[in-house]
Amino acid sequence: MFPGGEAEVEHTGSASVTNRRQADIDNTAQSEVDLAYARAVASDALARGGRDISTPWENPHTGAGGNITPLAATYTEGTFTCRDFLASYVRGEKQSWLEGEGCRSARGRWEVRSLKPLKQG
């Protein structure tokens, strides 16, 4: 069909840009999945009531993990009993710290209300 039996193909680079964007989306989505594991362990750690006792968490699918460490005593926020905690996040070579707040729901279960990067400084 083509002279010489080969077609010329022009490489524009758009495929690599698309692949990078997809990788960014996958990493972001995966981070949310990792954080879901961390939130579940944080809820359990807060329910146990221990202070300054770290509980490990891990997403077995990505290898990401870290520790959840409840801080200080409980406090009241409106009608909720709440508690702050720190979470380490390690995935591959990347390490970071997160700060969170969990509160006991009306049904008595601890739920993570916030989990965000720790402000340093």
- Judged on CB neighbours under 10 Å (0-12, 13-18, 19+), 90 is middle
CA distance 44 to 83: 12
Per-residue model confidence as pLDDT tens digits over 80-116: 999 999 999 999 998 999 999 999 998 889 999 999 9
> How does DSSP classify residue 10?
-
The answer to whether the CB of 55 falls within 8 A of the CB of 45 is yes
Report the predicted TM-score, pTM, of the whole model to 2 decimal places. 0.72
Give the model confidence (pLDDT) of 33-82 as tens digits.
999 999 999 999 999 877 778 999 999 999 999 999 999 778 998 899 99
Give burial (CB, 10 Å; 0-12/13-18/19+) of 111: middle
